[in-house]
Chain A
Amino acid sequence: MLMNNNEFGKCHFADDERHYPLLNTENLMNYNWGTFEDFKARLLEGKVINGCDEKILHAKFNNGRKPKASIFYFNGRLQALVANEYVAYDDLPLVTRLICGGNQINLPDAVSAKQNIVLQSFSLTDRKVFSYLQ
Protein backbone atom coordinates (compact mmCIF):
# COMPACT_ATOMS: atom_id res chain seq x y z
CA MET A 1 0.00 0.00 0.00
CA LEU A 2 1.17 3.51 -0.66
CA MET A 3 0.35 5.76 2.26
CA ASN A 4 -1.16 9.13 1.56
CA ASN A 5 -0.86 10.97 4.84
CA ASN A 6 0.61 14.42 5.27
CA GLU A 7 4.33 14.64 6.10
CA PHE A 8 4.80 10.96 5.30
CA GLY A 9 7.78 10.39 3.00
CA LYS A 10 5.66 8.68 0.37
CA CYS A 11 7.79 9.80 -2.57
CA HIS A 12 10.50 7.26 -1.81
CA PHE A 13 8.38 4.66 -0.11
CA ALA A 14 8.84 2.23 -2.98
CA ASP A 15 12.63 2.61 -2.88
CA ASP A 16 12.82 0.85 0.47
CA GLU A 17 13.24 -2.88 -0.16
CA ARG A 18 11.54 -3.60 3.14
CA HIS A 19 8.31 -2.62 1.45
CA TYR A 20 8.62 -5.08 -1.44
CA PRO A 21 6.49 -6.40 -2.96
CA LEU A 22 3.99 -3.59 -3.25
CA LEU A 23 0.34 -4.58 -3.52
CA ASN A 24 -2.10 -2.91 -5.83
CA THR A 25 -5.10 -1.15 -4.29
CA GLU A 26 -7.97 -2.39 -6.43
CA ASN A 27 -10.30 -0.21 -8.46
CA LEU A 28 -8.19 2.94 -8.19
CA MET A 29 -8.04 4.28 -11.70
CA ASN A 30 -5.02 6.37 -12.45
CA TYR A 31 -3.04 7.86 -15.28
CA ASN A 32 0.66 8.08 -15.87
CA TRP A 33 1.98 10.30 -18.60
CA GLY A 34 5.12 11.97 -19.81
CA THR A 35 7.44 12.22 -22.76
CA PHE A 36 8.91 9.17 -24.44
CA GLU A 37 12.37 10.41 -23.54
CA ASP A 38 11.58 10.73 -19.86
CA PHE A 39 10.06 7.27 -19.66
CA LYS A 40 13.08 5.76 -21.42
CA ALA A 41 15.51 7.63 -19.22
CA ARG A 42 13.81 6.40 -16.07
CA LEU A 43 13.68 2.82 -17.31
CA LEU A 44 17.36 2.88 -18.21
CA GLU A 45 18.18 4.16 -14.74
CA GLY A 46 16.58 0.99 -13.39
CA LYS A 47 14.88 2.82 -10.57
CA VAL A 48 11.25 2.86 -9.58
CA ILE A 49 9.37 5.81 -11.05
CA ASN A 50 7.57 7.19 -8.05
CA GLY A 51 4.46 9.33 -7.89
CA CYS A 52 6.48 12.45 -7.12
CA ASP A 53 8.51 12.42 -10.34
CA GLU A 54 8.89 15.93 -11.72
CA LYS A 55 8.35 14.97 -15.32
CA ILE A 56 6.22 11.82 -15.35
CA LEU A 57 2.82 12.65 -13.98
CA HIS A 58 0.95 10.14 -11.89
CA ALA A 59 -2.48 10.66 -10.39
CA LYS A 60 -5.62 8.84 -9.35
CA PHE A 61 -8.76 10.26 -10.91
CA ASN A 62 -11.57 8.06 -9.58
CA ASN A 63 -12.62 4.62 -8.38
CA GLY A 64 -13.93 2.18 -10.98
CA ARG A 65 -13.03 -0.49 -13.50
CA LYS A 66 -11.79 -0.75 -17.08
CA PRO A 67 -10.90 2.84 -17.88
CA LYS A 68 -11.06 3.83 -21.55
CA ALA A 69 -9.56 7.20 -22.34
CA SER A 70 -9.48 9.78 -25.07
CA ILE A 71 -7.12 12.71 -25.09
CA PHE A 72 -7.91 15.94 -26.91
CA TYR A 73 -6.96 19.57 -26.99
CA PHE A 74 -9.58 21.98 -25.62
CA ASN A 75 -9.29 25.70 -24.83
CA GLY A 76 -5.52 25.58 -24.80
CA ARG A 77 -5.23 22.59 -22.51
CA LEU A 78 -4.86 18.87 -22.95
CA GLN A 79 -7.91 17.11 -21.58
CA ALA A 80 -8.57 13.47 -20.88
CA LEU A 81 -12.07 12.05 -21.25
CA VAL A 82 -12.39 8.70 -19.55
CA ALA A 83 -15.25 6.23 -19.60
CA ASN A 84 -15.26 3.42 -17.06
CA GLU A 85 -17.45 0.84 -15.43
CA TYR A 86 -18.98 2.11 -12.21
CA VAL A 87 -18.17 0.42 -8.90
CA ALA A 88 -20.47 1.15 -5.97
CA TYR A 89 -18.82 2.32 -2.77
CA ASP A 90 -20.00 -0.76 -0.88
CA ASP A 91 -18.46 -3.00 -3.53
CA LEU A 92 -15.02 -1.46 -3.19
CA PRO A 93 -12.47 -3.55 -1.33
CA LEU A 94 -12.08 -2.52 2.30
CA VAL A 95 -8.52 -1.35 1.76
CA THR A 96 -9.63 0.89 -1.09
CA ARG A 97 -12.33 2.50 1.03
CA LEU A 98 -10.09 2.94 4.05
CA ILE A 99 -7.12 4.38 2.23
CA CYS A 100 -8.58 6.26 -0.69
CA GLY A 101 -12.09 7.28 0.16
CA GLY A 102 -15.31 7.23 -1.79
CA ASN A 103 -16.32 7.59 -5.39
CA GLN A 104 -16.70 10.98 -6.99
CA ILE A 105 -20.10 9.89 -8.19
CA ASN A 106 -22.22 7.84 -5.80
CA LEU A 107 -25.26 6.32 -7.47
CA PRO A 108 -28.32 5.28 -5.43
CA ASP A 109 -28.08 1.87 -3.82
CA ALA A 110 -30.88 0.57 -6.04
CA VAL A 111 -28.83 1.16 -9.17
CA SER A 112 -26.95 -1.84 -10.40
CA ALA A 113 -23.29 -0.97 -10.47
CA LYS A 114 -22.58 -3.36 -13.29
CA GLN A 115 -24.90 -1.59 -15.71
CA ASN A 116 -23.58 1.93 -15.48
CA ILE A 117 -20.80 3.81 -17.16
CA VAL A 118 -19.17 6.87 -15.64
CA LEU A 119 -17.66 9.69 -17.65
CA GLN A 120 -15.15 12.18 -16.37
CA SER A 121 -12.93 14.78 -17.91
CA PHE A 122 -9.86 16.43 -16.44
CA SER A 123 -6.86 18.39 -17.53
CA LEU A 124 -3.53 16.64 -17.95
CA THR A 125 -1.36 19.75 -18.03
CA ASP A 126 -1.13 20.53 -14.35
CA ARG A 127 2.62 20.80 -14.08
CA LYS A 128 4.81 23.79 -14.82
CA VAL A 129 7.04 21.58 -16.92
CA PHE A 130 4.32 21.50 -19.57
CA SER A 131 3.75 25.23 -19.63
CA TYR A 132 5.83 25.63 -22.78
CA LEU A 133 3.15 23.76 -24.68
CA GLN A 134 0.59 26.51 -24.04
Chain B
Amino acid sequence: MNQTANETMNLLFEKIFPFKAFKFQKKESFIAFFTENMTFLYQIKYDQFFYLSFIEFIESQLEIVSGAVIVKNQLPFLCHLFRNDDSSFKISIFDVFHNETLFEEKTQIPEDSLNADLDSFNDEYEIKIIITFSKNVLPQDVSGIFGIIYELSEAFSIINVTVSERPFDFGDYPSLKLVQIEDSLMLLEV
Protein backbone atom coordinates (compact mmCIF):
# COMPACT_ATOMS: atom_id res chain seq x y z
CA MET B 1 0.00 0.00 0.00
CA ASN B 2 1.50 3.32 -0.99
CA GLN B 3 1.83 6.19 1.44
CA THR B 4 -1.06 8.15 -0.02
CA ALA B 5 -3.45 5.23 0.29
CA ASN B 6 -2.27 4.44 3.79
CA GLU B 7 -2.79 8.02 4.91
CA THR B 8 -6.19 8.03 3.30
CA MET B 9 -7.22 4.83 5.06
CA ASN B 10 -6.15 6.25 8.40
CA LEU B 11 -8.16 9.37 7.71
CA LEU B 12 -11.22 7.35 6.82
CA PHE B 13 -11.05 5.09 9.85
CA GLU B 14 -10.62 7.72 12.50
CA LYS B 15 -14.24 7.19 13.52
CA ILE B 16 -16.71 4.35 13.78
CA PHE B 17 -19.35 4.44 11.09
CA PRO B 18 -22.52 2.43 11.15
CA PHE B 19 -24.15 0.61 8.30
CA LYS B 20 -27.44 -1.14 7.75
CA ALA B 21 -27.78 -4.08 5.40
CA PHE B 22 -31.06 -5.65 4.45
CA LYS B 23 -32.98 -7.69 1.90
CA PHE B 24 -36.12 -6.03 0.69
CA GLN B 25 -39.10 -8.09 -0.41
CA LYS B 26 -36.79 -11.06 -1.06
CA LYS B 27 -35.15 -9.21 -3.92
CA GLU B 28 -31.71 -7.67 -4.05
CA SER B 29 -29.74 -6.92 -0.93
CA PHE B 30 -28.97 -3.34 0.00
CA ILE B 31 -26.45 -1.67 2.21
CA ALA B 32 -26.46 1.88 3.53
CA PHE B 33 -23.55 3.72 5.15
CA PHE B 34 -24.04 6.78 7.32
CA THR B 35 -20.91 8.87 7.79
CA GLU B 36 -19.54 12.29 8.64
CA ASN B 37 -17.03 11.95 5.85
CA MET B 38 -18.16 13.51 2.57
CA THR B 39 -15.26 11.86 0.75
CA PHE B 40 -16.32 8.36 1.83
CA LEU B 41 -17.05 7.19 -1.71
CA TYR B 42 -13.73 8.53 -2.84
CA GLN B 43 -11.75 6.97 -0.04
CA ILE B 44 -13.09 3.43 -0.33
CA LYS B 45 -11.34 3.31 -3.70
CA TYR B 46 -8.05 3.33 -1.82
CA ASP B 47 -9.14 0.48 0.39
CA GLN B 48 -10.62 -1.62 -2.33
CA PHE B 49 -9.56 -4.95 -0.80
CA PHE B 50 -11.17 -4.25 2.56
CA TYR B 51 -14.50 -3.09 1.15
CA LEU B 52 -14.77 -5.91 -1.35
CA SER B 53 -14.07 -8.45 1.38
CA PHE B 54 -16.36 -6.60 3.75
CA ILE B 55 -19.30 -6.48 1.36
CA GLU B 56 -18.85 -10.07 0.20
CA PHE B 57 -18.65 -11.28 3.78
CA ILE B 58 -21.85 -9.49 4.75
CA GLU B 59 -23.63 -10.74 1.65
CA SER B 60 -22.64 -14.32 2.47
CA GLN B 61 -24.53 -14.19 5.77
CA LEU B 62 -28.13 -15.31 5.86
CA GLU B 63 -29.45 -12.04 7.20
CA ILE B 64 -27.32 -9.23 8.49
CA VAL B 65 -29.36 -6.95 10.70
CA SER B 66 -26.96 -4.08 11.34
CA GLY B 67 -23.37 -3.37 12.17
CA ALA B 68 -20.51 -0.95 12.42
CA VAL B 69 -16.87 -0.74 11.53
CA ILE B 70 -14.69 -0.36 14.61
CA VAL B 71 -11.17 0.94 14.41
CA LYS B 72 -8.71 -0.64 16.80
CA ASN B 73 -5.00 0.06 16.61
CA GLN B 74 -5.61 1.63 13.21
CA LEU B 75 -7.08 -1.61 11.87
CA PRO B 76 -10.73 -1.99 10.90
CA PHE B 77 -12.95 -4.65 12.40
CA LEU B 78 -16.49 -5.46 11.46
CA CYS B 79 -18.96 -5.71 14.32
CA HIS B 80 -22.34 -6.97 13.27
CA LEU B 81 -25.55 -8.66 14.25
CA PHE B 82 -26.96 -11.42 12.09
CA ARG B 83 -29.60 -14.11 12.14
CA ASN B 84 -28.67 -17.78 12.00
CA ASP B 85 -30.41 -20.53 10.07
CA ASP B 86 -32.29 -21.45 13.24
CA SER B 87 -33.57 -17.86 13.59
CA SER B 88 -31.38 -17.14 16.62
CA PHE B 89 -29.27 -13.97 16.66
CA LYS B 90 -25.50 -13.79 16.88
CA ILE B 91 -23.11 -10.92 17.29
CA SER B 92 -19.69 -11.14 15.80
CA ILE B 93 -16.48 -9.19 15.47
CA PHE B 94 -14.61 -10.04 12.32
CA ASP B 95 -11.11 -9.07 11.25
CA VAL B 96 -11.55 -8.50 7.56
CA PHE B 97 -7.87 -8.18 6.67
CA HIS B 98 -6.90 -11.44 8.34
CA ASN B 99 -10.19 -13.20 7.55
CA GLU B 100 -10.59 -14.19 11.19
CA THR B 101 -13.55 -14.13 13.57
CA LEU B 102 -12.31 -12.65 16.83
CA PHE B 103 -15.50 -12.84 18.83
CA GLU B 104 -18.83 -14.53 18.32
CA GLU B 105 -21.68 -14.91 20.76
CA LYS B 106 -25.23 -16.12 20.51
CA THR B 107 -27.32 -13.39 22.06
CA GLN B 108 -30.21 -13.60 24.44
CA ILE B 109 -32.53 -12.03 21.90
CA PRO B 110 -35.71 -14.13 21.69
CA GLU B 111 -36.12 -15.92 18.41
CA ASP B 112 -39.50 -14.36 17.74
CA SER B 113 -38.08 -10.86 17.87
CA LEU B 114 -39.01 -8.98 14.76
CA ASN B 115 -36.60 -6.10 15.05
CA ALA B 116 -33.10 -5.94 16.42
CA ASP B 117 -30.47 -3.29 16.05
CA LEU B 118 -26.80 -3.05 16.96
CA ASP B 119 -24.66 -0.09 17.90
CA SER B 120 -21.07 -0.18 19.01
CA PHE B 121 -18.71 2.24 20.67
CA ASN B 122 -15.08 1.95 21.56
CA ASP B 123 -12.41 3.85 23.38
CA GLU B 124 -8.80 2.97 23.87
CA TYR B 125 -9.42 0.02 26.17
CA GLU B 126 -13.00 -1.12 25.90
CA ILE B 127 -15.68 -1.87 23.38
CA LYS B 128 -19.38 -1.68 24.12
CA ILE B 129 -21.83 -3.48 21.90
CA ILE B 130 -25.42 -2.49 22.43
CA ILE B 131 -28.26 -4.52 21.00
CA THR B 132 -31.84 -3.38 21.17
CA PHE B 133 -34.67 -5.67 20.16
CA SER B 134 -38.40 -5.97 20.28
CA LYS B 135 -40.30 -8.97 21.58
CA ASN B 136 -43.36 -8.24 19.50
CA VAL B 137 -44.38 -10.47 16.65
CA LEU B 138 -46.70 -8.05 14.89
CA PRO B 139 -45.24 -4.58 14.14
CA GLN B 140 -48.47 -2.96 15.22
CA ASP B 141 -48.45 -4.68 18.59
CA VAL B 142 -45.38 -3.60 20.45
CA SER B 143 -44.97 -5.54 23.64
CA GLY B 144 -41.66 -4.03 24.58
CA ILE B 145 -38.20 -2.98 23.60
CA PHE B 146 -35.29 -4.43 25.50
CA GLY B 147 -31.55 -4.03 25.39
CA ILE B 148 -28.37 -5.99 25.95
CA ILE B 149 -24.99 -4.35 26.47
CA TYR B 150 -21.82 -6.34 25.94
CA GLU B 151 -18.64 -4.84 27.28
CA LEU B 152 -15.56 -6.33 25.71
CA SER B 153 -11.92 -5.95 26.55
CA GLU B 154 -9.29 -4.84 24.09
CA ALA B 155 -8.67 -8.53 23.37
CA PHE B 156 -12.38 -8.99 22.50
CA SER B 157 -13.23 -11.06 25.55
CA ILE B 158 -16.40 -10.39 27.55
CA ILE B 159 -16.01 -8.19 30.60
CA ASN B 160 -19.66 -7.74 31.41
CA VAL B 161 -23.13 -8.30 29.98
CA THR B 162 -26.06 -6.18 31.06
CA VAL B 163 -29.59 -7.17 30.10
CA SER B 164 -32.43 -4.68 30.25
CA GLU B 165 -35.32 -6.08 32.25
CA ARG B 166 -37.70 -3.24 31.69
CA PRO B 167 -39.64 -2.88 28.48
CA PHE B 168 -40.09 0.60 27.05
CA ASP B 169 -43.38 2.02 25.80
CA PHE B 170 -43.38 3.05 22.17
CA GLY B 171 -45.65 4.05 19.31
CA ASP B 172 -45.96 2.32 16.00
CA TYR B 173 -42.33 2.34 14.95
CA PRO B 174 -40.15 1.72 17.94
CA SER B 175 -36.43 2.08 17.88
CA LEU B 176 -33.74 2.53 20.46
CA LYS B 177 -30.45 4.15 19.59
CA LEU B 178 -27.40 4.63 21.70
CA VAL B 179 -25.76 7.99 21.23
CA GLN B 180 -22.34 8.90 22.55
CA ILE B 181 -21.79 12.49 23.59
CA GLU B 182 -18.26 13.08 24.87
CA ASP B 183 -17.81 10.42 27.55
CA SER B 184 -21.49 9.79 28.17
CA LEU B 185 -23.66 7.19 26.59
CA MET B 186 -27.30 8.13 26.26
CA LEU B 187 -30.04 5.68 25.39
CA LEU B 188 -32.47 7.36 23.05
CA GLU B 189 -36.02 6.06 22.88
CA VAL B 190 -37.95 6.89 19.75
A residues sitting closer than 8 Å to B (CB atoms) are 2, 14, 20-37, 39-40, 43-44, 46-51, 53, 56, 58, 60, 64-74, 78, 80-85, 114-115, 117, 119, 124, 133
Contact = CB atoms under 8 A, between A and B. Distances in A.
B20 A36 contact: no
18 contacts: A22-B39, A25-B38, A29-B36, A30-B40, A31-B34, A31-B35, A34-B31, A35-B28, A49-B44, A66-B181, A68-B177, A69-B20, A81-B175, A81-B190, A84-B179, A117-B186, A133-B25, A133-B27
B103 interface: no
B30 interface: yes
A68 B55 CA distance: 20
B51 A39 contact: yes
B179 A83 contact: yes
Nearest to A19: B42
Interface residues of B, number: 49
A34 B35 contact: no
Contacts of B45: 43, 46-49
Contact of B44 (A43, A81, A82): A43
Contact of B34 (A26, A29, A46, A50): A29
B42 A32 contact: no
A32 B179 contact: no
B179 A43 contact: no
Given A36-B31, A43-B55, 4 more contacts: A24-B38, A35-B30, A36-B29, A43-B44
Which has the most chain B C-beta neighbours within 10 Å: A65, A68, A72, A85? A68
B38 A60 contact: yes
Contacts of B125: none
B104 to A, nearest CB: 22
A83 B188 contact: yes
B180 interface: yes
A47 B44 CA distance: 10
Given A32-B33, A48-B45, A71 B20 contact: yes
A37 B28 contact: yes
Contacts of A67: 18, 34-36
B10 interface: no
B181 A85 contact: yes
B52 A44 contact: yes
Contact of B31 (A28, A33, A46, A50): A33
Given A36-B28, A81-B190, A83-B179, A69 B8 contact: no
